[in-house]
Structure 1
Amino acid sequence: MSLFDNLFLFLDMLFTFPNFNLYSTPLLILVLQGLLFSFLLFRRFFQQRYLSDLFLACILLITCYHRTSYTIGFMDWYDTFRNTKINYWLAPLQLIFAPCLYFYVRSVTNANFKLTKKHIWHFVPGIVFLIYRYGIFIYDAQQPGFADTQNGVLFEGFHFKYINPLYFIVSNFQLLLYFAFSFQLYFAHRKHIQHYFSNTYKLELNWLRNFLFVYAFLFLYGVTQDLIDSSMFNLTWTQEWWYHFISAIVIIYVGIKGYFTKTDTLSKLKFSIQEVAVPEKRNNIVSTSEVSNEIINRKKLLDIYMTDEKPYLNPDINLIELAEKVRLTRAQLSEVINVGYGNNFNDFINKYRVDAVQQMIENGKHEQLSLLGIAYECGFNSKATFNRVFKKFTQISPTEFAKTISA
């Protein structure tokens, strides 16, 4: 082939690839932004050493990586470079993604979590699979005619035929397990923080809930699409594009929210006390036979402090701060609240706030302030939390209660 022919071939490829079109351009833009947030999270991890940043960066990076084949495919990579070997290097990383997702949730919900050698075993299946994939490339690269084909003998005849279906089953079953573990951690965390914080709408980490839901949705979408493609009818590239486009949207959402949402609250608070079982209440009254004299005396002192000092007006009051103010240990205060009142800390504080709101409404403050304004003055810091808590204790909404007073 002459120099002119080589130059012509190069120019033809240059003008053919990349092809920026309706399918490739959105994926490319969104994935590049996802890579940027992944880089920012990695950098913050090395600066501040929050493990949650490390795992979220890996999650974003893998999600972006999994979009590669379709992004470059719609850019005409496979049409331009017919004998490309890029498929060998685009190994699926679900076996690594799944433990990253679980450890991200664990690092956010457990202030004392540290990555140890035993945790590496979670990633061994993914590492073994990567070694296997690149072993196939080494074998195929040594076979005659490898340069003239896109996929070699072992990759085409063994991997696609036998290993791909097995990997689909194993990786999705593993991911399902890690999702179950992650949701279990999340719900246990929500229950746990009720014993320490008075306002939990931030600490319940709506972000973490949304994070799990969007990735669970992608998991179900992907599995459904693969099952339809393999057992019902072959989906076209453009039909499968929607899954990758939605995944790219998720990348941006997770990147932005994950980077800017503070998830290190518990890392600054070391809890060592055990939760005390809440005794059964009859008609909202705790039996005095179940309460020691010591707890009764502490309960009286706490009642006086709550009435005189009104610490519940501070929206950020927590068990540690209140224990210091009433000169009790965290364990002692927790026991007084759990046993003496039959409540967790969250309900204990919010009951005072609801009573304060009712008092202000009965005094006609709702004619001067909005109900939300009254809620903020009484220590609530969220409309959603205020409405939920008020209805929990009164069985009616704040608006309905105000109407009964005005009637």
Structure 2
Amino acid sequence: MLQTIQIIAILQGLFLLLILIRQKKEFKPVNFWLLIGLIISIIGYSIGDDDYNLFVKDAHWFFFYDLLFITFFFLFIKYQYSDKKTFDKKDLVYFIPYLIFAIFEIFENIFFEENAITTIFLRIPIMIAISYYLFNTIYITYKKAEKKWVLYFLIPYTFIFLVEKIADIVYQQHDSIPFIESYGIIGLSVLLFYIIIFNFITHPKSILPKPKMEKYKSSNLKKDTIELQKQRILDLFEKEKIFKNKEIKVNDVAKQLGISRQQLSEILNLHLGGNFQDLLNKYRVEEFINALQDEKFKNYTLLGIAFEVGFSSKTSFYTCFKKEKGMTPNAFKKNLEKKDENFQ
């Protein structure tokens, strides 16, 4: 039965590797390689060591430990919700508990047997460190993940890990509960691979984020040109009030300034904090607020004023206003009226 579970885990892992490698260029490199490391380490664990080796009976290869794929899993989730584009070399420190444990296992097998001292000074600190990885991974997933598929693997695995490691410490013997280590962990690995494959097909972004496109990488705009065009754009909005024109388009402004649409978009996004539509909406909202306090618009409805300042529909007006001010136009007007009453 165990061999069947091992074979299923290995085949699923290899199938997943094939899918990922074929689409490698579509994903952020750091996330991609951490997931590859996770999958390979689980495949290695599923092949087994000690009494569970699938191909070589009683072989002990010293590096197929669950500590390795837990570390990869922790780093994979850590980078999943990070803006980092490359692997931070400082994060290699997280592999130290696994390396210490692997080295200790080699020496233990060759030179000495485990005792109470090695348990206190080695196994307990390593168990605490790896437990931190597991609980931190659960916390990050619970707080930040939109799709919480990881928890279906992590929560039961964390329970199994703690039970097994505590038993190892109590009995001062590695693999003290072989049933949990073999059927439990490898069985959960099968579940994990299945969940990853399913989500990779249905919600690929929940597995690996797409790399953000580097906009304007080939820009040839000089600093002086950028400053000049910034001021000209602001003049168009603040002095000429082009936002009142409901039909105004980004191409019209680019033509008026004598620059390309791409250059205009670059200046707007990188140096004025938003795209063309964002800037239009911002100025329209501010003009609407000014109009509310102008006697000229005393008899206008809110929607009538909105149309005067450039909005073309009730929906876009209410949506943009609430986005800019955090409240509806009606609520904003009432607040203004209360302030005026208090002032009087």
Q: TM-score category by the smaller chain?
A: 0.5 to 0.7
**Counterpart contact for 2:6–2:186, Cα < 8 Å:** yes
**Counterpart contact for 1:31–1:248, Cα < 8 Å:** no
Partners in 2 of 1:221 and 1:267 — Cα distance? 35
Paired residue for 2:110? 152
Letter of the 1:262 partner, please give it.
Answer: P
Once the two structures are superposed, the pairs formed by residues 98-247 of structure 1 within 5 Å of their partners are: 98-131=70-103, 133-134=105-106, 136=107, 151-154=109-112, 157-158=113-114, 162-163=117-118, 167-186=122-141, 189=144, 204=146, 206=147, 209-228=148-167, 231=170, 237-238=178-179, 241-247=182-188
Paired residue for 2:225? none
**Counterpart contact for 1:98–1:175, Cα < 8 Å:** yes
- Could you list the per-position Cα deviations for residues 269-321 of structure 1 after superposition, in whole angstroms to 9, with x for gaps in the alignment? 799999xxxxxxxxxxxxxxxxx966846997599556356999xxxxxxxxx
1:61 matched to 2:40? The reply is: yes
Q: Give the stretch that moved more between structures: 170-179 or 50-59.
A: 170-179
Gaps of 5+ in 2: 215-268, 274-284, 292-301, 329-344
Letter of the 2:79 partner, please give it.
Answer: S
**1:268 match: secondary structure:** coil
**Counterpart contact for 2:70–2:133, Cα < 8 Å:** yes
Which structure would you say has the larger Rg?
A: 2
* TM-score using structure 1 length: 0.46
Give the direction of change, closer, same or farther, for the CA distance of 1:120–1:72 in structure 2 (3 Å limit): same
Larger RCO, structure (CA 8 Å, separation 6 or more) = 1
Partners in 2 of 1:121 and 1:161 — Cα distance? 27
**Counterpart contact for 1:63–1:247, Cα < 8 Å:** no
Letter of the 1:171 partner, please give it.
Answer: I
**RMSD, aligned α-carbons:** 4.7
Give the direction of change, closer, same or farther, for the CA distance of 1:153–1:220 in structure 2 (3 Å limit): same
Partners in 2 of 1:129 and 1:237 — Cα distance? 18
Paired residue for 1:28? 7
Gaps of 5+ in 1: 1-21, 79-83, 138-150, 191-203, 275-291, 313-332, 343-407
1:256 matched to 2:175? The reply is: no
Once the two structures are superposed, the pairs formed by residues 366-385 of structure 1 within 5 Å of their partners are: none
**1:89 match: secondary structure:** coil
**1:32 match: secondary structure:** helix
Give the direction of change, closer, same or farther, for the CA distance of 1:98–1:174 in structure 2 (3 Å limit): farther
* TM-score using structure 2 length: 0.52
Once the two structures are superposed, the pairs formed by residues 348-367 of structure 1 within 5 Å of their partners are: none
Partners in 1 of 2:323 and 2:177 — Cα distance? 61
